Amino acid sequence: MSDIWQANTAYNKGDIVRPTAANDCIYKCIVAGTSGSSEPSWPTTPLKQVADNTVTWLCLKKHTEDDVLLAAMNHIKNNATSMSVCEDNPSHYYQACNPSEWQANTAYNEGDVVRPVGTRNGFVYKCTTSGTSGANEPTWPTTEDETVGDGSVVWTAVISFALCTTDVSPADFTIDLGEYGGKKIVVAEKDNILIYKTGVGKAVAILDDNNKQLLLVTIPSTQQNFQEGAQAKITSFEYEIEQPGE
C-alpha cells in the first residue's frame, strides 16, 4: 500500500503516495527528487502530473477501487494449483489442464476429467454423465465433443492445448501495484518441468484444479519450441489488471 506524502523527503521513481487529506487518488513518482516544504495541489484527473519541488508525481486512478483489484489478484494467488504452457489460447479449464490417467471401476462425477492410460492422444475427456467406469478402458474418440460410454459413465472429448504443466502454490505469487494504477501479480520462475507434448508455446494458463476453473491466460512476448520428453522452464512474468472502468 502507498504511504502518506511527507515534506522534505527523498522519493525514488516508482514510489507511491497519498495526500495528507485523502482525495481518492494515489500519486506515483515519475521523476525522483526531494519533496517540497509544502504539499502540492494534487490533481484528481488520472495521468495528470504535478511538480513537488524536484519530484514529479503522476495522478493514478482512484484507490477506492484497490479492494476490487486486490480481491481479483488474491483469488488467483489463493486458488491456483497448476500452470500450463499451451500451444493455443485456451478458452476454458479443460483445454489447459493435465488430468490423471483413466482408472477402471472408479466412480466419476460430472465435470471430472481424465486422459488415456499411457500414450497421450491430444485430447482429454470430461465426464458429462456421472457413474462408475468399466473394467476395460474405452476406445477414446479423437473428435471434439464426441462422446463414449464407459460403464455407466459418459465421457466427452475435449482437445488439449497443454504442452507441459507444473504445480503452483500461493508462495509462487506476489501482488504489487501496477505501473499506471491497478494491481499486478508476479509469478515466480518454475523449472525442470517435464514436457509431455511437442509444440510451440503460445500461451501460459493458470488453473484452479479443485474447482475446474481457468483463472488466467497470458500470452508471452516470445514463443518457445517444446520437445516431448525434455525439461522446460517458465521464466518469471507479470500480469497487470488495470483499474475498473478505465
pLDDT at 177 over 60: yes
Domain definitions of the chain by residue range: 3-60, 66-92+163-241, 99-159
The dihedral region occupied by 64, where left means phi > 0, alpha psi between -120 and 50, and beta the remainder, is alpha
Q: What percent of the chain has pLDDT over 70?
A: 93
Identify the band that residue 64 occupies on the pLDDT scale cut at 50, 70 and 90.
very low
pLDDT at 169 over 60: yes
Round to whole Å and give the CA distance between 119 and 117.
Answer: 6
Considering Cα of 190, then 191, then 195, then 199, what sign does the dihedral take?
A: positive
Structure confidence at residue 246 (pLDDT): 40
Mean pLDDT check: name the lowest of 19-23, 38-42, 135-139, 234-238.
19-23
Task: Tell me, rounded to whole angstroms, the distance of Cα 70 from its chain centroid.
Answer: 14
For 76-122, the pLDDT digits (tens) are 999 999 999 999 999 999 999 999 999 999 999 999 999 999 999 99
* N-terminal to C-terminal alpha carbon distance within the chain: 21
